[in-house]
Structure 1
Amino acid sequence: MLTSYHFEQIQRQNSRKMELVRTFLTKMGLGVDQDVEFFVVAFSNHQVVATGGIAGNTLKSIAVDERFQGMGLSTSLLSELVTMAYDAGRYNLFIYTKPDNYRRFREAGFYMLASVKDRVVLLENSKHRLSDYCYELSQHKKEGEAIGSIVMNANPFTNGHRYLVEHAASQCDWVHLFVVKEDRSFFSYQDRLHMIRAGLKDLKNVIIHEGSDYIISRATFPSYFLKDEGVINYCHTAMDLKIFRSHIAPALGITHRFVGTEPICAVTRFYNQQMQQWLTTPTLECRPIVLSEIPRVELESANLPVSASLVRNLLFDNQWDMIEKLVPKTTFIHLKQLFDLETSPYQVKRKAMSIVKQAQIPVEAETNH
């Protein structure tokens, strides 16, 4: 019987040891998610007996060899993962795990956020953080028969985004717009937020909310940030939409959610389809949310859908005349400022992406979200 073990931190670049991790996780019925940055691995006699990964502020790919279960290894593994996350400045933690593991993590101080029956549960290391967030949202609640909502990445903010918000604002008394917080897009969160605010300043019934971990984040919907790898996960979409309907929508009295049609990105198209199930189906717990899917705006001269990915591709090619036709004036001015200096960070990124494009490597698709 194996009784002793030691922990190692393994980076994704360590191909030899990562192969051991993949083999172990496969045996345990799990895979290696592409967004995991590093693993904490327990070895005993050179064999992998437990693993746990960290992706942003989410703990995942947690598994313990059955020979070591009941010996405290699970607790030690979780302690190692949490300590490493804290050392990296990540304090608001989430765990994706199988329902069978819920009690184990509950005893370690993690609480249920959402679950997909018999498949997966999402936990976080706070009993009150979600309710505190919803209380803060409720301070912005407005009265009206139709209260709309939009979740937007805007990488960058285009005329298509503007059209979607204008439509929602014309149909609703108030519209709550949530900006995706994750800094995993070409444009930073702060620049995307700036472009959205500047581009919608004249719409007085639109309330812009800064992003959170509870709306299209690496915790609630990691598939969104793995589009270029074609990752489509039913459980991810279910988690994100269940949290929105059960907690966020009631806090603001939201009755409608608006999205643009998605002809390009399969992940977002699947997410839009899943909204029909998770937002509109009547339940005893929550009132239905009306889903409005708006056709994508097209550039008439080229018969192309106006998309953020098209604008980025034009940026890579320095086609400013065409860009000016696709984005609001406020976005155009901001983009020119960001790319004004050859030494700016975005110029460096643009040149790198141009090389990728020339090499015909697929570039991440973008959506109206």
Structure 2
Amino acid sequence: MSWGGFDERIINLNNARQVNEVRQFLSNFDLIFDETAIEYTMALYRDNSIIATGSFMGEVLRNIAVEDSLQGEGLTSVVISHLLKAASRRGIFHYFIYTKPEKAHLFAALGFKEIGKVEPYAALLESGLGSIDSYCREISASAAKLPPENRACLVVNCNPFTLGHKAVIAKAAAENQGVVVLVVSEEKSVFPFEVRLDLVKAGLSEYNNVVIVPAGKYIVSAATFPGYFTRGDETVLAQTRLDAEIFSRHIAPALKVTTRYVGSEPYCSITRAYNQALLEVLPQKGIKVVEMPRLAINGEIISASKVRQAIRDNDWQTVRRMVPDSTYLYLISDEGKLIANIIRRVKSRH
């Protein structure tokens, strides 16, 4: 479609030439374009050259850029409008935008609200149906049965739920009047979210001062870990600190938590960096961080990744040592065996 002398085109993500044109254009802005992690891309062309582009994956609008010489000509608005219409046709009515902090005002002028910012790496804004305010009201209601004072929080993935997870949560439950366990909702793990949520609930059923709540889209999610537009060490700094900033600014006050518990991380560098970000950011906001050493049995540290490796190796004796009864019973069920077969076929960190 032609607009103001420019051609508005949908990019065919299976067309190597078109993809390379977008990638080359975005490289001028130090933006990374991975077509395998993109659902939809559009671009504005002038004389068959890209002068603006934008993409989305689910609710996240990304890789939005306008040629420097055309800044202030309204092209950002054209790109955003196109993306929102395309997303709405796919049933998506809530939107996130990542940008550099110095560009956040451009999207605020288009109706987006800033929900987190970490200088100089990233700012996260949102628009559409639903908001972080409504999310905070929902999680606050979920935790309403807990005593209002001396609350703690943990964020867990549990892929699957192990005795190590249970040990950290048990420590929090013993040291606080109430504990909120937020289970990561992203479907990036071999165990589906609903299964992970059920395993956490089953494994913690004896604790009457613990509530288990879906973490949703505002913590450890595709929205709060912007790995696509920063490089190397900056990726880790941006994603971990932005997530910590959103937790301290919005989620902790909504849940009335004053302490965040984490397990130490000897294996995964990203998780270790995330813990470090929490230790640096949260105390500045008045939130204590307690890091508990990983539980070990006979000198062997328990981790979900070791459980998955034991499943690959058909080492059910090791699995049995590392997980609670409820997780083990699920793993040997017909449904659990299907996931075990997937684990054996797929070599993935998650």
Same fold by TM (over 0.5)? yes
Distance 2:94 2:237 in 1: 24
For the residues of structure 1 that align with 2:38 and 2:334, how far apart are their CA atoms? 30
User: 1:51: Cα distance to partner?
Assistant: 1.8
Task: State whether residues 226 and 238 of structure 2, in contact with CA within 8 Å, keep that contact through their aligned partners in structure 1.
Answer: no
Preserved CA contact (<8 Å) 2:236 2:273: no
Aligned residues: 342
1:75 deviates by: 1.5
Separation (CA, whole Å) in 1 of partners of 2:103 and 2:344: 46
For the residue of structure 1 that corresponds to 2:85, the secondary structure is helix
For 1:336 and 1:232, locate their aligned partners in 2 and report how far apart those are by CA, in whole Å.
38
Cα distance in 2, alignment partners of residues 69 and 257 from structure 1: 43
**Cα 1:340/1:261, change in 2 over 3 Å:** closer
Match of 1:240?
Answer: 243
Q: Match for 2:301 among 280, 305, 329?
A: 305
Aligned residue identity for 2:17:
R
Go from structure 1 to structure 2 and tell me whether the alpha carbon gap of 1:230 and 1:15 turns closer, same or farther (over 3 Å shift).
Answer: farther
For 2:309 and 2:234, locate their aligned partners in 1 and report how far apart those are by CA, in whole Å.
Answer: 22
Q: Distance in 1 between matches of 2:118 and 2:67?
A: 25
Aligned pairs for 1:40-189 (under 5 A) are 40-126=42-128, 129-139=131-141, 140-141=143-144, 142-143=146-147, 145-189=149-193
What is the 5 A alignment of 1:280-359? 280-281=283-284, 286=285, 288-300=286-298, 303-339=299-335, 344=338, 346=339, 349-353=342-346, 356=347
Partners of 1:74 and 1:327 lie apart in 2 by 51
- The verdict on how the C-alpha distance between 1:27 and 1:352 changes in structure 2, with shifts beyond 3 A counting, is same
1:246 CA drift (Å): 1.4
Name the residue aligned to 2:30. 29
Q: Which one-letter code corresponds to 1:304 in the other structure?
A: E
Alignment gaps of 5+ in structure 2: none
Q: Deviations over 1:261-284 (max 9, x none)?
A: 000110110010111221002xxx
- Describe the shift of the 1:18–1:338 C-alpha distance in structure 2 as closer, same or farther (beyond 3 A): farther
Deviates more, 1:128-137 or 1:164-173: 128-137
Post-superposition offset of 1:88: 2.9
- Residues 20 and 109 from structure 1, CA distance in 2 versus in 1: closer, same or farther, beyond 3 angstroms? same
CA contact (8 A) 1:115 1:121 kept: yes
| C-alpha separation in 1, matches of 2:275 and 2:321 | 27
Cα contact 1:58–1:219 (8 A) shared by 2 = yes
Partners of 2:234 and 2:271 in 1: how far apart?
11
**Partner-residue secondary structure (3-state), 1:255:** strand
Q: Kindly tell me: are residues 305 and 230 of structure 1, through their superposed partners in 2, closer, same or farther at Cα, counting changes over 3 Å? A: farther
Confirm or deny: 8 A CA contact 2:159 2:190 kept in the other structure.
yes
> Structure 1's 106 and 232: CA in aligned 2 closer, same or farther, altered over 3 A?
closer
Local SS of the residue matching 1:10: coil
Q: Give how far 1:146 is off.
A: 2.3
Paired position in structure 2 for 1:267? 270
In the aligned structure 1, how far is the partner of 2:58 from the partner of 2:234? 17
CA contact (8 A) 1:230 1:266 kept: no
The amino acid across from 1:205 in the alignment is N
Contact 1:3–1:68 (CA under 8 A) maintained in structure 2 = no
Please tell me whether the aligned partners of residues 52 and 65 of structure 2 are also in contact (alpha carbons under 8 angstroms).
yes
String of CA shifts for 1:15-44, please: whole Å, max 9, x gaps: 333222221111123223674444222333
Q: How has the CA–CA distance of structure 1 residues 231 and 186 changed in structure 2, closer, same or farther, with 3 Å as cutoff?
A: farther
The TM-score normalised by the length of structure 2 is: 0.89
Quick check: 55-64 or 183-192, which moved more? Answer: 55-64
* 1:124 counterpart letter in structure 2: E
Partner Cα separation in structure 2 for residue 182 and residue 120 of structure 1: 21
Give the Å deviation of 1:184. Answer: 1.1
* 3-state SS in 2 of match to 1:125: strand
What amino acid is aligned across from residue 149 of structure 1 in structure 2? C
* Structure 1: unaligned runs, 5 residues or longer: 357-362
Quote how far apart the aligned CAs of 1:327 are: 0.6
CA drift of 1:46 comes to 2.6
Which residue number in structure 2 is paired with residue 221 of structure 1? 225
TM-score of the aligned structures, taking structure 1 as reference length: 0.85
Identity %: 33
